[in-house]
Amino acid sequence: MFRWSINRFCAGEEKRVGTRTVFVGHRPVSETDAYIEQKFCDNRIVSSKYTVWNFLPKNLFEQFRRIANFYFLIIFLVQVIVDTPTSPVTSGLPLFFVITVTAIKQGYEDWLRHRADNEVNKSSVFIVENAKQVKKDSEKIKVGDIVEVKADETFPCDLIFLASSNGDGTCYVMTASLDGESNFKTHYAVRDTAALRTDDDIDTLTATIECEQPQPDLYKFVGRINIYRSNQEPVARSLGPENLLLKGATLKNTKKIYGVAVYTGMETKMALNYQGKSQKRSVVEKSINAFLIVYLCILLSKATVCTTLKYIWQSNPFNDDPWYNQKTKKERETFKILSMFTDFLSFMVLFNFIIPVSMYVTVEMQKFLGSFFISWDQELYDEEIREGALVNTSDLNEELGQVEYVFTDKTGTLTENNMKFIECCIDGHKYKGGVSEVDGLSCTDGPLNYYGRAEKCREELFLRALCLCHTVQIKEGDTVDGLIVNPKPKCTYISSSPDEIALVEGAKKYGFTFLGLEGDYMKVQNQKNEIEKYQLLHVLNFDPVRRRMSVIVKTSTGRFLLFCKGADSSIFPRVPNDEIEQTKAHVERNAMDGYRTLCVAFKELTYEDYNKIDVQLCEAKMALQDREEKMARIFDDIESDMHLIGATAVEDRLQEHAAETIEALQAAGMKIWVLTGDKMETAKSTCYASRLFQTNTELLELTTRAMGDSERKEDRLHELLLEYHKKLLQDIPKYRANLKRSWTASQEYGLIIDGSTLSLMLNPSQDSSSSNYKSIFLQICLKCTAVLCCRMAPLQKAQIVRMVKNTKGNPVTLSVGDGANDVSMILEAHVGIGIKGKEGRQAARNSDCAVPKFRHLRKLLLVHGHLYYVRIAHLVQYFFYKNLCFILPQFLYQFFCGFSQQPLYDAAYLTMYNICFTSLPILAYSLLEQHINIETLTSDPRLYMKISNNAMLQWKPFLYWTFLGTFEGLVFFFGVYFLFENSSLEDNGKVFGNWMFGTIVFTILVFTVTLKLALDTRFWTWMNHFVIWGSLAFYVFFSFFWGGIIWPFLKQQRMYFVFAHVVMSVSAWLVIVLLISISLFPEILLIVFKNAKRKTHQEHPLSSCSLKLPAITAFLGMNKTKPFNLPMLLSYKPLENGYISEMKVEGAVNNLTQRYRLRLPQTQQL
């Protein structure tokens, strides 16, 4: 035991900082050692945030961290402490409502988490103790327990795989709940424990496991197992990710397995991945904060003005201390400064409703409920994977309508990631087709017949390399989800990479069939139907840095062979130069055709070489510290001095409607950048096929090839940057050079850059004479219509996105990808979109929104993004407008009541205005409004530009809404004031009082702001009718109720029968109808004027489009052909902004109109 303590706590290599030692089955290494139970966390999963005891204080603390909630809390406390004109209920009840609703929502969500945790923690598991199975709750598993898991059960914690019911010590695992990959992964037990397939056998195991401390990476694990046998030296075996079974994964197609728990509870990799993503803020949220500051300044100004004027008015002794309301002794002795401060606070309380606290709740509800419309959209549903869109972050719905830059991956995003073997090249000879003769491969077809054929032995060597250099598994009998082809009726190829299946299938076409693994031997059936066996000695797995993978096998004759396949850039430097030329020509030609290419090489090893390599690999695999770095160095040494055999070409077809989607996004004013790890020729071909590059696009290259073999690459790069910068500046008019989204008017430019050049640019050498590479490069990029970045590492993708989003103006960026290598750029962009592709679901899990295919991006942005932005922008402006209308009469009333802080409205009206009377109509509007129908938004992408740059929440529309609220507030107050000049308004001569005055003003206010929303509504549903007219009916009902008509027990309060007197007065009816009409008249007049102006300017294609839609309506399932005019929102901006070139707009729209056979008016001038 002392020795194990030394290993854990002493310095040096033996200390193994950051490692843990696990005793399998809690058995000591030897009988003489006393076992001391180690302290690790239990297996309880806790995803909940609160407990019964801390829910109230913790939730309140979190809610009052929001500025608006804290502000209203202060106002409420002021009302309680200071003698204010309004009851604390007027602020306390709305605040209580907001806090309560939020707390109930968060409490319910946390209760669901508690319930889910209990289902997991209380699930039954079987633990092997003393050769017997003991049933326990999952939460009682301890590190070191040996756990039995049966088929289709979920692993209860992170286990080291010891043995399975399969004789070869393998098991199949599905990790869909972790990374979304539905294909089965094969895991392996170490060969020393694989034979322990019964409870009695596994109970005889004496071993310890040394491994790294818990860390969240699902695909990394470093450890080793030390197996002790009586009277024998301990045996040490390395452990890696292939030996680790993760909690949350499911056992498939294996009867049972045994595993030892190494990480439990909150230390499992699944639990460590619970941490949320960084918070992203939308442009709308930033605008709300800016508007709040303005209205807070208005509030402070009103309170200051009223306080000042009060003391000026009270400077007259008669006004300060009238005979009918004399001051008390305490009031006379109060310090004037303290009195002024108290009055200032009282006015703040009186006018505090100008800050719309309920807006936050409404915005949250709008975002949360609105996200369901994306998930429910049937056009975003994909039949192939049987899934639709998924919103992970509802806070960014409106940001989809503000995108300016789209960064997209290529493979699996623009393309299908469904690989098909096309052709291969062996020693410079092209092979296309299948077996046409009994004895060999088909010859070259077409005009390439002069290539002839390679030697027979080279052909067979190449095909054996394809059959052996991979990680494909064969499963017989059962159908397996994932990447599947059927070489035989009852066999299935399984792999996490579609490329590998395509290559194995390609070898089969030419007569060499991979038959699977049998123990350590790979079986291959050759062209003569003979079975060949190769002992698999080592697999040098693929990684994105090396961009290649290798296997070392031993033939039946005792030869040691290394086969390697990878990207040409990683293979060519490792083979003799004289072997490259012929194959390189084929690789470049295939890349130009848009095919994915891989080069294949081999090396024969001597017995001494292999023994040396075997020792090095075993030592590196046993290391617990820096294992990956050590393995990488050894791989680099092994994969050298190889000989090139040939290359393969695999087709990855463009996704359906990907080109049309890119075309539509460009017509909508977005710039599209493709960031890919593929070679330049393949990526460029895809860009032309997807119409990112047009035939008239001039391409500017910043690649290793463009810089040549110059020794001073930085100097050559600087020359190219200056040359391109000068060309772009000369071509673009000066008056448009400073526009953030300006596109060239006369000539379109595209930029191509590779990863090595980007590294040179972003990280120049110390002695580089140019320190402004980055700024010049950025200026070039922003002036190009499209950019292609090839040979990109995942980190470089994120660097590109960060560079663009931090430019002047902070343009809104969107990243879209389907694989784990796209996660960094998805998290970096303002909005991250994940494609539910075939490279797993890491991108979809880390995204803000996930869609099945790239084509769905069109509707997501042009329709959902457009509508969500317009809805929430209108919601924000409307809230500020209606609260200004609400408080301005209260402010004006102070000039007529001696600044006595007398409220104009009853406390019930103050409380209910934002909660009940005006909240539901705007919520329904913000969820259902379609100011332009969906078909029009889809068919005319240019409409997207009308809301770009946060157009509806700029200062100009904000001032318009503020002016409108001020105008209507003045009309409400002074209209009723002039009515009250004759105070005897009833037949019996009864005089109206101040509560009658306030009730009439409030009635006009509620009806006007509600009817204003009705005027703005263009898409009416039964829900809109219900909430708009229902809210007005509820107001009337409540007023009768509060006035003691319906509920007579309320007759003692000050509003008794007030509303009844209002509705019984003909004069009051007249003034209500008249003032509502006057208030809404400018709005109606402006709408009529704009519609008339739009009809007289039919030549402007975007401010008004009269479209005839015979084809598009049929395409969209509509039967009638009808002309329609596009409605205009008052806060839409005009399109004469120079954001997009005439060539680009006209080209894109012409393609769209030809595709849908639309008849658009002639474009005269943009």
Active-site positions read: 409
DSSP secondary-structure letter at 33? S
* 308-314 contacts, C-beta under 8 A, 24 or more apart: 309/894, 309/895, 309/899, 310/343, 310/898, 310/899, 310/900, 311/340, 311/343, 313/898, 313/899
Alpha helix positions (H), 314-383: 317-320, 329-333, 336-351, 358-376
Secondary structure (3-state) at 1107: strand
∠ Cα 138 143 149 (to 5°): 50
DSSP string, 564-581: EEE-HHHHGGGS-GGGTH
Cβ within 8 Å of residue 475, ≥6 positions away: 172, 184, 253, 491, 492, 494
For residue 9, what are its two tokens?
């706590």
For residue 974, what are its two tokens?
């002074």
Q: How many CB atoms lie within 10 A of CB 99?
A: 18
Cα(506)–Cα(484) distance, integer angstroms = 14
Secondary structure (3-state) at 223: strand
Q: How many CB atoms lie within 10 A of CB 408?
A: 28
Residue pair 295/303 in contact (Cβ under 8 Å)? The answer is no
Residues belonging to the chain: 1166
Q: How many CB atoms lie within 10 A of CB 1025?
A: 13
**CA distance from start to end of the chain:** 83
DSSP string, 280-303: ---HHHHHHHHHHHHHHHHHHHHH
Secondary structure (3-state) at 604: strand
Dihedral sign of CA atoms 357, 363, 364, 369 in order: positive
Q: How many CB atoms lie within 10 A of CB 544?
A: 10
* Single-letter residue type at 513: T
Phi, psi values for residue 42, rounded to 5°: -75, -175
Alpha helix positions (H), 913-992: 919-928, 934-939, 955-979
C-alpha pair distances (Å), 307 with each of 186, 409, 891, 898, 1109: 77, 61, 12, 11, 63
Cα(760)–Cα(775) distance, integer angstroms = 14
Phi, psi values for residue 1080, rounded to 5°: -90, -10
Cα(606)–Cα(322) distance, integer angstroms = 114
Cβ within 8 Å of residue 486, ≥6 positions away: 492, 493
